[in-house]
Chains A and B, each alone.
Chain A
């Protein structure tokens, strides 16, 4: 049986000293989980190692940690995969640290109440029933219930919060888990306050438009909830269905972006800023343009941009790009990707074969 070196980040709150790393040797088969290795250490070597855990099967969401630098569930990460991932991977050493963006209580245990749950509470996380409440069940399309099941599948493990870059920069960002939770209500036809919820989260400077599309949360999520996709869906419903134009210019920025790509194929940044604020001559755009001057100057100094490139964008969108826009926009219904209904195409191709 192979031997792994488990390098655990330890923090003893009693000691009043900085965190440190401690190594343990563990013999286990490669397809066993990192949690099993940690539990083996606890059982045989040091019972004081702190980690929350319960189900061992990726359902309870207790054991969120960082493994070789990447967030995930300890019970859901095989030793062989863990040992071979990350920049310093050597096939035997597994570095386990507490999740990020949350204060550490002890060893691998973080304070989820202070961050994760506070943010969940921010999104009014309960159904506000559409009235009148029917005597029996609400009659709603099966597809809607399957659709929101993707966000119901969230086990509140915090892996997405751990590595959210926007939250690192703006700790007040509502964040991936809470916004995915918000979609669970916005996508639920039984909820009465879709528009109020969206307006609230669009107007909040730390709300839906605070996400920067880094995809970290999608990579981190062990349950395929794809929080960023849910945030994008919140934006689409907010702008396309309710026409909510927020004071943070999130709406305008997104539309400017789409317009920009449709026209240029590649992003023309000089147009993007003014367009995001209503056009070059719009009164709101002027202070924004002045405000962005230092960035422009830095860019020129470092040669990242030249005046010619900035003002005369050389690229025009090819026909193919325009066709993509025409096809997508010409559809009667928006197409949304959903985990629980993936596999349809597969099945059809099998049936044909």
Chain B
């Protein structure tokens, strides 16, 4: 049975960075992921990564932009750390081999991004996430002697000792169906977000909120769950992402009347205002009848010189061609706001520690909170790397003072019992619903009622539907009874994770009776600092969720009115 100082669950940017940092700090490391590491959703991050690395720029400016972008819900101590450490992280990546594009002088080049007062986004064409992810995987292959990789292993349960500390997990080898206990002194969750709770979403099919739900189920509080980012430019038909880099390179947004409507909503920053602001503006245009008949807005990239588009935005040239039949270098492409990112997650401090001893979280699964009510573009890659590294270092350090735990054999029997129960589902006399049907209803419900604009009535509706789906899910049909690559069983477990996450999102959105960042309540349209300048947490208490609050840490920036 594998035993390591540090066990990392999830192998996107946060997980791989944590693994490398923990190994550097002398720990024995296992990294486990339900997909091969380079399939992780970090691969889809397009536009770039922020850092105040130019001499004319300052980390304070980056931090202020982030605080303002968060609508003052971000914790300023954590934001300061992230922005201060960003330049060194970029240089670490550069030395590790990331092929950042250069300026004419051969130094690292930048592009403009939303909500930022300087061009401080470093990039590799529009495949920045892919380039960084693949380079980190190169490093993992290099360090194969110190980092054990468990690729295509699905975590079913986090393990706790009698004092409540997290001491490992049980996981299923997807290729053989065999369950295994992983003992570890520290566990880092780096399993990403939960975009599949919504439909459509820019997120990959694997983004099912596994880590968020696993931590929640063993008592870790979730925070800022109401803060769901709708990206301003997703492809109308299928929700695919069109990078903010397009607007960073100079693309404009137009409504059906041909108006560059952002002039009315953000006269200074225009298309490069914060994402929540731009998405709200677009949705307002669409709702008030100024969108195109298919409920969309036009993104005009022809403003960008063609040569530059082909070199720096090649991926969206392909997406336009392959998935929308549009040559974006010649004509506008139709987009609308679409679910993209969850600012909330498992509550952690700035070393990635959750309130459960031995359990860490980093990346989209976590809520430090550096994004607060709204994440700035190109801050998520930074978040994964900075807090991935810090978690890895801290977990390695912590492991030195802890004895290697050994989980009892019963945990494996229990986990196997749960799998067997799924395989042997008694669906009764009625034909059961299919997993896909339940998932579809969940996604459409969330996208209807928990989207850019929300109100009490819609949220109550969402709450009721999610509760019903939670009843239906345990009876959903299972076609595959095998052990090798049984994707049906995994989908059944994932569906349970998604429903837990959805419930937390809806509850937090119902609770926050104001409008801040990504949460816009049409029944409470103003920001209300007097009553709501705090985080909302959701924890599992007994069988049900319990809401509480947590203070926002302020260091130097007092809340101001937010205009762009």
Contacts and interface: CB of A to CB of B under 8 A. Distances in A.
Interface stretch (A145-153, A201-209, A244-252, A288-296): A145-153
A14 B108 CA distance: 53
A215 interface: no
B103 interface: yes
A254 interface: no
B35 A341 contact: no
Contacts of B91: 136-137
Given A13-B484, A14-B482, A43-B434, A142 B101 contact: yes
Interface of A is mostly: loop
Contacts of B435: 43, 47
A142 B487 contact: no
Given A126-B139, A145-B102, A59 B482 contact: no
Interface in A328-348: 339-344, 346-347
B310 interface: yes
A156 B127 CA distance: 14
Interface stretch (B221-229, B247-255, B313-321, B340-348): B313-321
B43 A152 contact: no
Interface string A188-224: 1010000000000000000000000000000000000
A109 interface: yes
B99 A148 contact: yes
Nearest to A29: B237
B480 interface: yes
A140 B36 CA distance: 32
B77 interface: no
B483 A141 contact: no
Nearest to B140: A126
B141 A141 contact: no
Which of under 10, 10 to 19, 20 to 34, or 35 or more describes the interface residues of A?
35 or more
A139 B106 contact: yes
Interface residues of B, number: 71
Interface stretch (B130-138, B499-507, B537-545, B552-560): B130-138
A125 B141 contact: yes
A44 interface: yes
B103 A60 contact: no
A48 B314 contact: no
A144 to B, nearest CB: 8
Nearest to A341: B311
A12 B482 contact: yes
Contacts of B108: 137
Contacts of B488: 47-48
Interface string A94-134: 00000000000111010011000000110001110100010
A146 B127 CA distance: 12
Contacts of B311: 146, 340-341, 343
B354 to A, nearest CB: 26
Given A105-B485, A137-B108, A149-B125, A57 B240 contact: yes
A102 to B, nearest CB: 14
Contacts of A88: none
Given A62-B39, A126-B97, A121 B434 contact: no
A106 B307 contact: no
B491 interface: yes
Nearest to A136: B91
A58 B322 contact: yes
B99 A47 contact: no
A105 B138 CA distance: 25
Contact of A61 (B39, B99, B322, B434): B39
A223 to B, nearest CB: 8
Interface string B420-448: 00000000000000111100000000000
A142 B103 contact: yes
B130 A340 contact: no
A72 to B, nearest CB: 11
Tell me which of B100, B135, B307 has the highest count of chain A C-beta atoms within 10 A of its own C-beta.
B307
A113 B151 contact: yes
Nearest to B151: A113
Given A54-B204, A54-B206, A339 B314 contact: yes
A303 B485 CA distance: 53
B100 A145 contact: yes
Nearest to A147: B99
A33 B144 CA distance: 37
B142 interface: yes
A155 interface: yes
Contact of B205 (A31, A53, A140, A145): A53
A126 B103 CA distance: 24
A340 B139 contact: no
A265 interface: no
A169 interface: no
Contacts of B106: 139-142
Given A125-B141, A142-B104, A142-B106, A152 B127 contact: yes
Interface string B177-218: 000000000000000000000000000111000000000000
Tell me which of B96, B310, B477 has the highest count of chain A C-beta atoms within 10 A of its own C-beta.
B310
B41 interface: yes
Nearest to B240: A57
A192 to B, nearest CB: 12
A176 B158 CA distance: 41
Tell me which of A107, A121, A155 has the highest count of chain B C-beta atoms within 10 A of its own C-beta.
A155
Interface in B462-490: 477-480, 482-488
A236 interface: no
A46 B479 contact: yes
Contacts of B138: 125-127
18 contacts: A42-B436, A46-B479, A47-B435, A54-B35, A55-B44, A57-B240, A60-B35, A127-B96, A129-B95, A145-B99, A149-B127, A156-B134, A184-B99, A339-B314, A340-B311, A340-B314, A346-B306, A346-B307
Given A48-B480, A142-B104, A152-B134, 6 more contacts: A61-B38, A105-B484, A127-B96, A142-B106, A148-B99, A346-B306
What 5 A-B pairs come out closest when comparing CB atoms?
Answer: A43-B436, A127-B97, A48-B480, A47-B479, A343-B310
